Structure 1
Amino acid sequence: MAAADALVTLSQEHGMETLLIEARLIAGRAHFEQGEAGAGIVAMRDALAEIEDGRDLAFVLVYVAFLADALLSVGVVDDAHARLRRGLGYAVRLRVYG
């Protein structure tokens, strides 16, 4: 978790907005894995929304998987399913599959 939080700080200090948003998502995942499920999921949801709004979709499938896995772990199946379907939609539109 310390490394993820350090990435957030570094991104803020150097004005790297795109990396900052991704760092927030990764920090959210780290918090989730450290037992802070609610806070981690909220952070991942918020960061993923910013990533999708900004159309920075290079790693969106990874980020969707991080969030969907967390949601499934706490029993939020419908939201996880919707996010996975949206991720699949990105894959189809971006042709990131073989």
Structure 2
Amino acid sequence: MNNLKLSILSEERKKIIPHFVAWKDKFYLAGGTALALQIGHRESVDFDFFSRHSFDTEVMIKQLSTLFGEKLFTVTQVEKNTLSIVLHQEIKISFMTYEYNS
């Protein structure tokens, strides 16, 4: 984690990273932001978290409300094993299940 290219994130995005530790055993960061943090090739605007296991979106919404305050984010998508929010009217965060065989 020491070699991450945090310069690809805005200050607002850097501030919320520690909050995601709560889900480190259930979700992993993937997509463009995950790659950009490793190679620093572009700025990043969203966080896409994936899990190999099903999750309860209502429980996640409650956890996010506790973590960030329910008035600080807007839920933009809720489906089975999929939850997307916008935090502080600018930071897109998605949680999804991607079941794959390793």
Verify same fold: TM over 0.5: no
TM-score by length of 1: 0.27
Task: Choose between structure 1 and 2 for higher RCO, CA contacts under 8 A separated by at least 6 residues.
Answer: 2
Which has the larger helix fraction?
1
TM-score by length of 2: 0.27
